[in-house]
Chains A and B, each alone.
Chain A
Amino acid sequence: MAIDQQSASPEPAPGYAGKRLVRGFSTTGGFVVTLFLTFLGLLAITFFIGRVIPIDPVLAVVGDRATQEQYDVAKIAMGLDRPLWMQFIAYVGNVFTGDLGMSVSTGRPVIEDLSRFFPATFEMATLGILIGCALGIPLGVTAAARQGSWLDQAIRVVGLLGYSVPAFWLGLVGLALFYARLRWVGGPGRLDIFYDGLVEPVTGMILVDSLLRGEIDIFWNAVSHIILPAAVLGFFSLAYIARMTRSFMLDQLSQEFVTTARVKGVPERVVIWRHAFNPIRVPLITVIGLSYAGLLEGSVMIETVFSWPGIGNYLTTALLNADMNAVLGATLVIGAVFIVINKISDVLYRVLDPRAR
């Protein structure tokens, strides 16, 4: 039936993809509902994991020298004497009102901590995945188009390095070379010390905030700080993306319809990009989405090496301090990121692949 409706409309305008995007959203049918249900499932899992691990949240608050009375008072105040399901409902209610509890280790509300730490990771991961895609996809396509050539071999070596080089080592070497020796980039941290705290956080992403405020010199300083860690992250996703792109492309290039395109006399560049690459956009989105979600989890190694106040660092510190509210909060954010990225990929599938509509 959808076909009939389509034929009734006049011939597709160039901006057809926009229409597909809208349809992608609407055909998802209760997009928001599924999103909500998935999120609820995530909440349940994080909550019960938080309750079954052998850490006493009361003890973490009152300290181990508290008397039994103090302990009981705190336990009741925290609502931990109630049945588990009531606690869960209260927890869900709190989460939806933006209350994730207090962090024991930082002494601030967890939500506030997350709104400081997550944008730092988000900024770095986004830049990283952009670098990874911008270089990884062309490299993978080139390698596949010239399978067996020295270029292909070189790209495969890069891909192999991306799997085998430790992140902290690459980060340290990068710092030693580009910061300490060549002075091309800024050092650890998000900004030079004298710029720190000058920009009022709006989104929490310094690159965005500084531009919003029109502080161009702060922007460039932030760029000089973020470029190296983002490039290191980008290198790892580049390696992965290039390898996957190469194997997807090799698969497509042996398909009959690619030969059909050659029979038509289509130039090789068009054969590769239009005929072989377009069909692999869907699996590539899966690869990129997973890779991006992985980066958004925060890389503890990279964040530690570059003194980056990101979510990976925050989560690790919280875990080591038995700071359960912070752990649950950070886990929730990471889970939510995965859900959102999955949903975005779902919608993009429908836009890019007519067979999935």
Chain B
Amino acid sequence: MTSPLLSVENLRVSFPTHTGRVEVVKGLTFTLGRERLGIVGESGSGKSMTGRSILKLIRKPGQVTADRLEFDGIDILSQSEKQMRAIRGARISMVMQDPKFSLNPVMTVGEQIAEALVTHQKLPRRDVQARIIEMLHAVRINDPERVAKLYPHEVSGGMGQRIMIAMMLIPEPELLIADEPTSALDVSVQAQVLDIIDELVRNKGMGLILISHDLNLVSRYCDRILVMNAGQVVEECAAGQLENAQHPYTKGLLAAMPVINETRDELPVLDRTQWAGT
């Protein structure tokens, strides 16, 4: 691996509360090349906050600190808002969780995708249109001309998420953060959406951070996995090595997954005593 696409060292995200600042990400360290990294963890483990802090999208009063947060040699934390805007979308992009809420309800699909493109590239109108159609094709939408004129409430969840992917990939970023891209979708379309992300990411040689709470899903689509709990990485391993996991938390998570053709009276519950009070 040559110089990493993204290197994160001691990333901390905190929010003020009535009882003082609470850290939701506590010293996260990892590097990412042009590979597929999965971040797994339960709700509130800081996965999404990690994704958003890479885009510098943590709004005040939230606070992000890190010894190092570099994307392709650029120190993210020292970038101005204006400099960040040139990076967001164009170089790092993010697919959000639920297309019902993450697409603008009063703009057509085509307008929203076009916006993602023309924000970063000045193109003649006809070229923009052609790129949109091409991109919608790439996310396996039949009849893209028709879909481009629809409003988000007129498309299904699975199609909405494919539109989201098209919108986020059209400026050809180098890193895609997929923040629980399938949690809001039917199981039947989850695989389809992930296959599309996988295919496009591989073809374009991009880096991918797949954030999820689904261990199986992540091990299927990623090269490497970070297991997060309470704001910290508890385990880092290659996707194939998951069954050799060392940390009790990871082991607990794996044990809690039912296996087909198996009879267990009760699935084990995580022993949470050591995290009590967090």
Q: In the complex, which range does the number of interface residues on chain B fall in?
A: 35 or more
Q: Scan B74-94; emit 1 where CB is below 8 A from any A CB, else 0.
A: 000000010011111110011
Those 9 A-B pairs whose CB atoms lie nearest each other, nearest first = A265-B89, A265-B88, A256-B101, A264-B89, A7-B146, A354-B151, A256-B102, A257-B104, A264-B116
Query: Would you list which residues of chain A between 243 and 261 have a CB under 8 Å from chain B?
Result: 255-257, 259-261
B104 and A7 within 8 A (CB)? no
14 additional A-B residue pairs with CB within 8 Å, beyond A257-B102, A264-B88, A355-B106: A7-B145, A7-B146, A256-B98, A257-B103, A259-B96, A262-B57, A263-B168, A264-B116, A266-B85, A278-B104, A279-B106, A352-B106, A354-B105, A354-B106
CA distance A142 to B146 in the complex (A): 37
- CB of A6 to closest CB in B, whole Å: 6
The yes or no answer to A12 lying at the interface (CB within 8 A) is yes
B153 and A355 within 8 A (CB)? yes
Residue of A at shortest CB range from B88?
A: A265
The yes or no answer to A11 lying at the interface (CB within 8 A) is yes
Binding site for B on A (CB under 8 A): 3, 6-7, 11-12, 255-257, 259-268, 274-275, 278-279, 352-355
CA distance A278 to B104 in the complex (A): 10
Chain B residues within 8 Å of A12, by CB: 149
The yes or no answer to B197 lying at the interface (CB within 8 A) is no
B105 and A263 within 8 A (CB)? no
Instruction: Please indicate which of the listed interface residues A11, A255, A354 has the most CB atoms of chain B within 10 Å of its own CB.
Output: A354
B106 and A260 within 8 A (CB)? no
CA distance A278 to B171 in the complex (A): 24
CA distance A268 to B96 in the complex (A): 19
Return the contact of B104 from the options A6, A267, A275, A352 (Cβ within 8 A).
A275
- CB of A37 to closest CB in B, whole Å: 31
The yes or no answer to B227 lying at the interface (CB within 8 A) is no
Return the contact of B154 from the options A3, A255, A274 (Cβ within 8 A).
A3
13 contacts between A and B (CB under 8 A): A6-B149, A7-B145, A255-B101, A257-B104, A259-B102, A260-B167, A261-B115, A263-B57, A265-B120, A267-B85, A267-B119, A278-B106, A355-B153
